[in-house]
Amino acid sequence: MISTLIRTLKQRWIDELKFNNNYSKHTVICYQRDLDNFFSFLMQYKNNEINIEILKDLKVIDFRAWLSQRVNNKFSARSNVRALSSIKSFFRYLAKSKIMELQSINNIHRPKLDKLLPKPIPENDILAFLNESFYFENDPDWITDRDKALYTLLYSTGLRISEALSIKTRDIGTEIKVLGKGKKDRIVILFPITIQRINTYINSCPYDLTENYLFVGVRGKPLRASSVDIRLEKLRIRYNLPEHTSAHAFRHSFASHLIQEGADLRSVQELLGHESLSSTQIYTDVDDYNLLKIYEKTHPLEN
């Protein structure tokens, strides 16, 4: 059981994440799920109701036991890092609200992560894929038009799939305003070919998109990111695309290919909507990695 006070504080913390910190809906759900996981562990571990007294008495060993259980339950290292961040956020809120201050949690350090490089789709593969005349023979023409418009938009702008699917048809012009992470706006410029493919899709779509979301599914409902990735997995197999092909891989490809062609980091940062330059710098690591592979493959001493 969880005490009424803790439930109230949990809801106030969630409201803080939503309305004061401007966290995305997805992030808030993840943080809430992490805290629920922690409370569930504590109820079994302490065999008691979760109340303020229980929280005040938590030691380093308690947090380590929770993280250890997560490892045993096969949660990934990245998931555990985020979960720890979620719990620390909750206790920071309690301290800020002058409910309680817990020093022991400050002694818990985040697990080390292996550096995972983004995986772009090779340029030749992505261009050939975007120029296919159709994807599945039995698809209505408008479905192929929709997919080509969406994939071209993702690759030509570096939009997140959530950003692309939130676009309303009335927003389309030579540029569009996008609401990104942290509810921050940025302007995205559309290439003529992107506009052309979007217009082709709008004109062939059997549904009235005028006051609707731009991208819709077969029944005219707003297209979901999960549906995009399910279809992309089928297309990946059909067109022999890399295993890591996903909607997000188009964003990685956009950034990686720009940097390979000499674009400066600051410009790519703005185009991606990254708050920190360090988030964009990982794409230079991808370029360095690719260069190293070419070097190893072609240098005479390696042959």
Mean pLDDT of 131-151: 93
Q: Provide the pLDDT for residue 25.
A: 83
* Residue reference for tokens 């676009």: 167
Classify residue 234: in a domain, yes or no. yes
- Among 79, 107, 135, identify where a domain stops: 107
Residue 84 clears pLDDT 60, i.e. is over it: yes
Calculate the CA 110 to chain-centre distance: 21
- Give yes or no: residues 53 and 165 share one domain: no
Q: Which two tokens stand for residue 141?
A: 């023409």
How would you label 175-191 residue by residue, b for 16+ Cβ within 10 Å and e otherwise? ebebebbeeeeeebebe
DSSP 185-200: EEEEEPPHHHHHHHHH
Q: Provide the pLDDT for residue 6.
A: 94
Mean pLDDT of 246-257: 87
Q: How far apart are CA 52 and CA 244, in angstroms?
A: 45
**13, 35, 236 from 66: Cα distances, Å:** 21, 11, 39
- Give yes or no: residues 80 and 29 share one domain: yes
Q: Which two tokens stand for residue 202?
A: 């709008």
Residue 269 clears pLDDT 80, i.e. is over it: no
Residue 74 confidence class, pLDDT cut points 50, 70, 90: confident
Q: Provide the pLDDT for residue 97.
A: 94
* Residue reference for tokens 């295993």: 243
DSSP 97-124: TTS---SGGGGPPPPP-PPPPP-PPPHH
**Annotated catalytic, 248?**
yes
Residue 201 clears pLDDT 90, i.e. is over it: yes
* Residue reference for tokens 């956009």: 254
Comparing CA positions, the residue from 294, 246, 297, 289 lying closest to residue 116 is 289
Mean pLDDT of 246-268: 81
Classify residue 117: in a domain, yes or no. no
Classify residue 289: in a domain, yes or no. yes
Classify residue 28: in a domain, yes or no. yes
Which residue would you say has higher pLDDT here, 76 or 273? Answer: 76
| DSSP 8-class letter at 11 | H
Which residue would you say has higher pLDDT here, 260 or 183? Answer: 260
- Give yes or no: residues 143 and 260 share one domain: yes
Classify residue 116: in a domain, yes or no. no
Mean pLDDT of 185-212: 93
Q: How far apart are CA 126 and CA 110, in angstroms?
A: 37
The whole domain housing 23 covers: 4-107
Q: How far apart are CA 80 and CA 75, in angstroms?
A: 7
Catalytic residue among 197, 231, 251, 257: 251
Tally of domains within the chain: 2
- Give yes or no: residues 26 and 138 share one domain: no
- Give yes or no: residues 63 and 166 share one domain: no
Q: How far apart are CA 123 and CA 260, in angstroms?
A: 11
**Annotated catalytic, 283?**
yes
Catalytic residue among 88, 119, 181, 186: 181
Classify residue 113: in a domain, yes or no. no
- Give yes or no: residues 151 and 293 share one domain: yes
Contact 247, 161 (CB under 8 A): yes
- Give yes or no: residues 140 and 199 share one domain: yes
Mean pLDDT of 243-272: 81
Residue 184 clears pLDDT 80, i.e. is over it: no
pLDDT tens column, 214-237: 999 999 999 999 999 999 999 999
Domain containing residue 53: CATH number: 1.10.150.130
Mean pLDDT of 158-174: 92
Which helix H or strand E contains 162, and what residues bound it? helix 161-165
- Among 43, 76, 107, identify where a domain stops: 107
Q: Provide the pLDDT for residue 78.
A: 81
- Give yes or no: residues 151 and 249 share one domain: yes
- Give yes or no: residues 44 and 191 share one domain: no
Q: Provide the pLDDT for residue 167.
A: 94
Q: Provide the pLDDT for residue 279.
A: 55
- Give yes or no: residues 11 and 156 share one domain: no
User: How high does pLDDT run on average in the chain?
Assistant: 85
Instruction: For the beta carbon of residue 164, count every other beta carbon within 10 angstroms.
Output: 25
Domain containing residue 183: CATH number: 1.10.443.10
Q: Provide the pLDDT for residue 186.
A: 84
Which helix H or strand E contains 35, and what residues bound it? helix 25-46
Classify residue 302: in a domain, yes or no. no
Classify residue 146: in a domain, yes or no. yes
- Give yes or no: residues 268 and 163 share one domain: yes
**117, 270, 284 from 279: Cα distances, Å:** 11, 11, 10
Contact 194, 211 (CB under 8 A): no
- Among 107, 141, 162, identify where a domain stops: 107
Catalytic residue among 148, 160, 197, 231: 160
**Annotated catalytic, 109?**
no
* Residue reference for tokens 């997995």: 233
- Per cent of the chain over pLDDT 70 is 86
- Give yes or no: residues 187 and 286 share one domain: yes
